[in-house]
Amino acid sequence: MDAKWRDIARYIDPAMNWNEEPDPAQKPQETAHIYDTTAIKASNTLADGIQGYSFARNQAWFKLEPEDTPEMSGGESAWVQLAEKEMYRQMQKSNFYDEGRAFVKCAADFGTAVMTRTDDVVRRIPAYKTQHLKHCCIDENPCGEADVLFRDFFADAYKAAALFGLDRLPKAVREAYDKGSLKLWKFTQAILPPDRYGLGIPAKEGYEYYSVYWADIERDKAIMDGWFRQKPFFVWRWSRNLDGGVWGSDNPGMAELADIKQANSVRADYSRIVQQMGRPPIKATEGLNGRINLKPNGVTSVRPGEDFTVVPVTGNAQGIMQDLALLQRAINEAYYTDFFLILSQNIEKQKTATEVAGIQGEKAVLMSAFYGRLSAEFLEPVLEDLFNMELLSGRIPAPPESLAARDERLRIDMVSPLAQMQRRYLTVGNSQQAIAEILALYQIRPEVADNLNLDLHVRNIADGYGIDKRVLVDMADVERLRQARARQMAAQQQRMETMAALDAGSKAAANASKSDPATLQAVAGAMGAAR
């Protein structure tokens, strides 16, 4: 796996240094071996697209909803909205969105991404860090959840003293601190449940994860340890590895590595052929070295016995470009570039908005597998962790007693554009097509409409488009409005019938004025009954 990761870093993410020891000067990596940048651009587009469609900084991408009770009281709803607002505020203040992009890019390229979360006690916000895979080792429990992390990191003596305290550091690191040395020292952190591996770590009530640090130069002695109430790291695997390994697989970087390397080689061949066409090789006698004039209209004077000629260039540049185009297309398809750029590609500009929405819906469904893992292994755990942190800190107040009394739990609903697109395509889209066909039958037999619950369909449409629940009227209120409307219509109908009866009675009375007294008396009785 490490050799494949090195190749992926070399051709897709050359800025990801894979050397064992860090470079204190942070020099840029050599990129002279890169000829085709299709994979690099596709990887960046995917990272930007997934973040933009799933958890962008400037959009609402999650909501808190009661798990069991469909409707909440005013006080309960206000508390939930306050909790949402606090979580969004903390996300905005933290570095989550910056690190989140690197996290997505790492999973797309290497199949696995690891992010740690620490507490910035000064600014009272969480701090996130996407880890380099070469420094990480993970393990999972029998349920397939990654719950163990070993990570290496490097720090100079000053940073190590700030993190652990000078007195806790090994003697060599303390001496480097006294000398003002900026040498980097290797440290390791282990985070795991206390019952793993039979290490005999005593459990601590209310805390699920144990953490311990040690220095590489003194591995038999712990520098610092502590406890976490919940898991302080997140691991996302693009897809499960069927051989039982813990690392992700089937990601675009791994799946297309052969095409990426071939495209790079083909692009290098094409560049060489083009350069040879522009400046073809020359075969000349030895005495002409340095005397051949290659400038436009240049003249080269030759002596008797001297000569030179242009060596013909071999190779089909057009065929090479066709092969390169096929390779580039495969790479872009693997990274879903066409989905994220569908509105800007020329071929799609000729389609209607409905057609584009349909194409995006289909492609969004194709991404549902890895997006489901992204939500389950990363986005939802991050939000659950943040909610618990804010609740424990008091920045989110305790829930109303009514919620606590019925032990109401909150669930996290993803309402990002990608989540809504998938939901609309899989639910609303199919329902709308079915209803359109049913309406055709309605023209023949109107009673078929009795099979439809259009109220539920309206709710599904609103849910598919992520409409704020406060915009929708509660179903009980809808029923009261309908009953009031029915009573109003019945009263209006009664008034119309009464007016019609009075009008008929008046006409009858006018006609009866010419009749005998008995008829007049009967008409008067009928009018009285109508009143």
More confident residue, 467 or 245: 245
Tokens of 127: 């701090």
For 95-105, what is the mean pLDDT? 96
- Residue 373, helix vs strand vs coil: helix
**Distance in Å from the first CA to the final CA of the chain:** 94
Q: For residue 151, what are the β-bridge partners?
A: 136, 189
pLDDT of residue 347: 45
Residue 289, Ramachandran bin (φ over 0: left; ψ between -120 and 50: alpha; else beta): beta
Instruction: Please state the φ and ψ torsions of residue 146, each to the nearest 5 degrees.
Output: -70, 110
Three-state DSSP at 411 gives strand
- What's residue 59's pLDDT? 87
- Of 1-15, 24-38, 222-236, 492-506, where does the model show the most confidence? 222-236
Residue 319 has pLDDT above 90, yes or no: no
Q: 454 falls in which pLDDT band (50, 70, 90)?
A: confident
Distance of alpha carbon 251 from its chain centroid, rounded? 15
**What confidence category does residue 346 fall into, taking pLDDT thresholds of 50, 70 and 90?**
very low
The most confident of the ranges 77-91, 328-342, 492-506, 517-531 is 77-91
For the segment 226-237, the average pLDDT, to the nearest whole number, is 95
Confidence tier at 490 by pLDDT (50, 70, 90):
confident
The arithmetic mean of pLDDT across residues 350-373, rounded, is: 65
Counted residue by residue, the chain has a size of: 531
Please give the helix or strand (H or E) that residue 128 lies within, else none. strand 125-130
pLDDT computed for residue 274 by the predictor: 83
Higher pLDDT, 182 or 355: 182
At residue 511, the pLDDT reads 63
Per-residue pLDDT for 224 more than 70?
yes
Instruction: Report the pLDDT value the prediction gives residue 351, as an integer from 0 to 100.
Output: 56
Q: Which amino acid type is present at position 134?
A: K
Give the pLDDT confidence of 165-220 residue by residue, as tens digits: 999 999 999 999 999 998 999 999 999 999 999 998 999 999 999 999 999 999 99
Residue of 429 and 72 predicted with greater confidence = 72
The model's confidence at residue 93, banded by pLDDT at 50, 70 and 90, is: very high
Domain boundaries, the chain: 1-111+256-280+335-415, 114-237, 475-530
Looking at residue 263, its pLDDT comes to: 96
Q: Please report the pLDDT score of residue 289 as a whole number.
A: 83
pLDDT mean over 368-396 = 91
Q: Are 159 and 148 in contact (CB under 8 A)?
A: no
Q: State yes or no: pLDDT of 483 exceeds 60.
A: yes
pLDDT above 70 (res 238): yes
DSSP string, 32-77: TT----HHHHHHHHHHHHHHHHHS-TTS--EEEEESS-S---HHHH
pLDDT at 282: 85
pLDDT of 259-270, one tens digit each?
Answer: 999 999 999 988
- The residue among 373, 368, 378, 335 whose CA lies nearest residue 114 is 378
Which has more pLDDT, 111 or 28? 111
**This prediction's pTM:** 0.77
Phi and psi angles of residue 524, each rounded to the nearest 5 degrees, phi first: -60, -40
